[in-house]
Amino acid sequence: MSPNLTLKHASSGINTDHKCLTIEDARYKLSLSMKIIIREGSAAKNFESLHPLISECSKKYCDSLMFCFDDAHPNDILNGHINLIVARAIEHGHGFFDVLKIACINPVLHYKIPVGLKNRRSC
């Protein structure tokens, strides 16, 4: 997608992207306050090209990254889907807590999923 089209998307309220192919494209979208979804699926994959963003996570992008597993066959999902991406990220040397934040907390907060997250005011 061209930078102009990306800017139009971001300014119109589109705030996630799971189709980045290069780290440069992802960084540009992050600079526009978009969230980047690192995906692995049966056909489409971008983990290998985007996982270096995870090591930059605690400095810049930790709240702006998520994982997804799309276009997946049901048997692939039964074999662990997000767990497999978490394991790969840890195998690549990324921080355990950064990876768990990307996998578990960021999607809940971004999509406002009503699950058992506690905050200090509710304890």
| Sheet with 35-39: strands ordered across | 16-17, 35-39, 65-68
pLDDT computed for residue 34 by the predictor: 95
The CATH number of whichever domain residue 108 belongs to comes to: 3.20.20.140
Q: Give the model confidence (pLDDT) of 44-66 as tens digits.
A: 889 999 999 998 866 778 899 99
Buried b (16+ CB within 10 A) or exposed e, 71-83: ebeeeeeeeebbe
With beta carbons less than 8 A apart as the criterion, state whether 50 and 60 touch: no
Instruction: Say what the pTM is.
Output: 0.85
Q: Give the model confidence (pLDDT) of 84-102 as tens digits.
A: 999 999 999 999 999 999 9
What is the span of the domain harbouring residue 21? 3-122
Domain count, the chain: 1
Q: Using CA of residue 14, residue 18, residue 21, residue 23, what is the dihedral sign? A: positive
Q: How confident is the model at residue 24 (pLDDT cuts 50, 70, 90)?
A: very high
